Structure 1
Amino acid sequence: MQPPARDQAPARADLPAAAPTDPGATRPLPGTAYAISTRGLVKSYPGPDGTVTHAVRGLDLDVHQGESFAFLGPNGAGKSTTIALLCALARPTAGHATVAGADVLGRPDRVRRQVGMLFQHSALDMDLTAEQNLHIHARLYGMSRRHARRRATETLEAVALADRRRSPVRTLSGGMRRRLELARGLLHEPRILFLDEPTTGLDPHARAQVWEHLRALRDRQGTTLFVTTHYLGEAENCDRLAIIDRGRLVAQGTPDALKAAIGDDRVVLRTGDDPAAREIVQGAAPPGTRTTLDGEGIALRVPDGGSWIPRLCAALADHGIPVHAATATPPTLDDVFFHHTGRSIHGARPAPAREEGP
Structure 2
Amino acid sequence: MRWRTRVAVTAVSAMVASTTFVGVGVGATAPADAFGGRAGTTVRAGGAHIDWDRLRNPILGYPDRAAKDPAIVQADGRFVALFSAVDAAGRWRIGIATSHDLARWSPLRFLPHDATVEGEASPDIVRAPDGRFVVTFQSFVHDAAGAEAKLWYRTTRDFRSFSPAHRLGFELHPARNDRLIDPALVWSPAGLLLGYKVGSADGVQAFELARSVSGTLAGPWTVVGRPDIRVLGDTIENYQFLHVDGRHELLATSNSFDRTYLFDLAGDARDPRGWLHWTPGRQLVVPQEAWNPGSGLTGVTYEHANCAFVVDRRRISGWAYLVFADSPELTTFGGAGHARLAVARSRDLVHWDVPPER
TM-score range, shorter chain: under 0.3
The structure where helix makes up a greater share of residues is 1
Higher strand fraction (1 or 2): 2
- The TM-score normalised by the length of structure 2 is 0.27
Structure of greater Rg? 1
